[in-house]
Chain A
Amino acid sequence: MAEILDKVKTEEEKSTFFGPKERRLLIDPLMDNNPVTVQILGVCSSLAITSLVYPSIVMAISVTLVTAFSNYFTSLVREYIPKQVRMIVQLVIIATLVTIVELALKALNFPIWKQLSVYIGLIITNCIVMGRLEAYAMANKPWRSFLDGIGNGLGYGAILVIVAIIREILGKGTLFAGSPVEIKIIGPNTTYLIDTTTSNLFGWYANNNLMVLPAAALFIIGILIWIHRTINPKLVDIS
């Protein structure tokens, strides 16, 4: 974290619109500095809403929008924010954006808003958002902060969707249930879904109820962290 910040400072002068530096801001949080598997932030909502893929995608988009724009606005006013009330100012910015996202979602897609219920509001308490404001936006220019927000939102979203794909296939035998493109992947055909594309793959498979419960997400995230660290030994703390 610290070395990234140092590098950002030395390269601050030669600011480009979308150079290698900017590209790294987007790609780093997806792999080497993933907010969920490396920084272990935002785990709460990763457990709660990843039982189906479709709501997870909506959640990922919402969080990405909130991190990106809260980073951007905080960075815009970073030099004017009084030090004593720094956190309060950040919270107001985040809360405003979350409420805007929630209102928009309610108007655009009511059923999914109903399904995500409190978790949209709880983006306010998602550690990723405030973490990025403190660690990045307070010390960097708006455009780069915006990219950093997009990158971290996508890094979080990627884990969310991976976990949701595993949980939905094993727990319900479907993909994208609730969306217009829902399909049945494994297990016997039931009257479960309104519109099922017929598939008899693994007709013997019985849905694993554990996968539907939040506990399963914890195992899956744990396994993902394990795999991530095996692939990338740099992440293992050897001290």
Chain B
Amino acid sequence: MESSNKYIITFIIIMTVIAAVALAGMREITMSASTKNEEIFNKRSILLTVNEYLGEGLSVADLSDDQVLKMFKEQVEQVVINQKGEVVPNILAEKIDLAVEKKKAESERLLPLFVFKNDKEKFYILSVRGSGLWDEIWGNIAVKSDLNTIAGVTFDHKGETPGLGAEIKDNPSFPGQFVGKQMFKDGEVAILVRKGGSQDKMYEVDGISGATITGDGVSEMLQRGISYYLPYFETIQN
């Protein structure tokens, strides 16, 4: 049975309206929960860089969602800086999306900086973003208050090969290597992922075999990303 054009158009319009209402309704219902989930997810990955220093017997994995939010509110100061090293007022670092900043001209990019304080020490947590083999990679780096020694890092990726490039996130021994390394040598970023094994233990970590391009991507991301923070570090050091 062939239907008339009028019938088809009416049918399609009614169907589209029902689908649109269902989707819009669903989005409204889930919006607040998913925004909160995303926020907690990001905050967990930032806190994970200073996992060792959270406090006696605490670990990000064991914290409940509310504890994460509370800790972030009480112990983390959020700073946004520009490329000249000046603090940009009235904006929270968690609102800065590096994926968006990457599309801007280099001189206009804003940088998020999280300052974590525990009873004794202060840590600066930087965010970096770059490219791996297949797609984007990003990470957070916690630096001790000497602004040189790395306290911890986390990496994540969009589509690196499982078992190879994806190990930057999946295998904790890769980010674990960064702990205690120095970032700067003579005022330049020296931290590096070295294919075939690190040579200068102060500044280099071992690459993952089979993941050379991802490793080079991590190096490039760190060198470029950290150097953006240099002007700010110089100002606070003086």
Contacts and interface: CB of A to CB of B under 8 A. Distances in A.
A99 B15 contact: no
A194 B63 CA distance: 13
B11 A191 contact: no
B76 to A, nearest CB: 20
Interface in A82-125: 82-85, 88-89, 92-93, 95-96, 99-100, 103-104, 106-108, 110-111, 114, 117
Nearest to A114: B41
B38 A192 contact: no
Nearest to A97: B22
A173 to B, nearest CB: 13
B196 interface: no
A80 interface: yes
Majority SS of interface residues in chain B?
helix
A92 B15 contact: yes
Given A103-B27, A110-B34, A191-B172, A81 B11 contact: yes
A195 interface: yes
A142 interface: no
A51 interface: yes
Instruction: Place the interface of chain B in its size category.
Output: 20 to 34
A80 B11 contact: yes
Contacts of A191: 172-173, 176
B3 A83 contact: yes
Given A92-B16, A106-B34, A107-B33, A213 B8 contact: no
B35 to A, nearest CB: 9
A91 to B, nearest CB: 11
25 contacts: A51-B162, A81-B11, A82-B3, A84-B2, A84-B3, A85-B8, A92-B16, A96-B19, A100-B22, A100-B26, A104-B30, A106-B30, A106-B34, A106-B37, A107-B29, A107-B37, A108-B33, A110-B37, A110-B38, A114-B41, A117-B158, A191-B176, A195-B61, A209-B163, A212-B162
